[in-house]
Structure 1
């Protein structure tokens, strides 16, 4: 029997109502003022930078007088330090010294062979130092020639990082330029840096992006912050000469530091570590670089002055 149009309309009215409610709910959600993830990241842009010194910059002074060197760095207004070796010192004593100077140990660069062969020792030393992160900053050239070797390192890093996490220690990978050179095997060609992002466990492994080495390789640091927000715990702040590829004091070179810092903050980065591999005067370099970085984030400068009782 043929049904009348009103009968058909009555039959499907509940379905029409249901679909209309779904559509309305969808529109309300899209228009609601609930902050998006991206918007919440933007809040970091107004936060003061937490500025640290990579102690490789002052390695000779650290060898001769570690207590005096750390005291000078604290007096400059640095909030954190990152170690690149302990110079034969007891990690517990050094960590206590850093904290007594009103600084924190944000990270400690570790040796690749120790990571592979003596991971428990590395974790114990990092914990005794009181470092927030253990950082792998260099893989020997002969151990990164092919993708099989890189896959092996990824397994090692994931395994040790999970163990470190259980001890309350984070893990970060620090790049140089070689991670951006594609490596091929019989089935693929890929940059090791892309492989690391794809296969390192984000639950246990962060990254410490060195903006100088990233630019040295012809890449843009901002692009990685945009692509991988939340994956970077620290950033190495270094600058490149306007006339060649030499490292110069932060603010004296061609790298667009303010733009990079702003993008890093949007990606959730709070810790910025100043470094110079071969400075003529290490302490002057650290002071000038700190002053410049504070100048692009006045709240960081104010916080540093308050820490030392200045107004």
Structure 2
């Protein structure tokens, strides 16, 4: 392993606040590494190559796929453990918060040219960018579109802002709870406007409309846990007719969507969880080409010697500030 981002909520996960996991397990999801050896039947990656792992393992059954995140919590589909997902986790217990990790070949993606990347600690953000790219793809975002990123001040929200800009959005309204993170996002590009979240649905919707100078073509909701659904619904309220909203965050609230409103405005509401290797590769090519500028990140590096300090540092950062484990 060369570098692995430590998500801001890792301490919550360690304390059991994000669901169960087979133990003992080496934690850590995603990351950048160098292949040391492969099985005889592995041809997707080669020894010596720089690769990305997203930790996303699927059973491979098309009609009824079952999916897990290795070294982490998170189950695809309906989010309930099954005999298959339990077996997948029992078999693969080597996450990426380590000097070396044993991973199934299907979770690895070769990154041609990444051996020349000057800063693996920044490149460790690529798995998060890939998740954001999956949501942006599913939104149908096109050049010139007006976009709201709800939860923009989180790390996934910050990644979504970067991807929306790279895809040619005409205006990106970053909507979130951290004023400092909003200021960092506003400095990225003149197309980024910011709206601080008040938590009041009507107030926030009015502020979003002003920032958009109208309605949104696309909303991507990347919010983390929130006490109510009001922030999500404030963004829903500013969708134009025929617009799309994609949910990719960690909101634990139910949404009350009016049937008639969704129908008459012909809105599309989609979920997005993780992304394909094809999406990950396209995202890497954008990074390699400079269309997604990783210099926008403020990176703090940590090692394996003091896990508690690493968790504390990760817990303190937001948005385009990240903590990267360099083992």
Tell me the TM-score normalised to structure 1 length: 0.30
Tell me the TM-score normalised to structure 2 length: 0.28
Greater gyration radius:
1
Structure richer in helix, relative to its length: 1
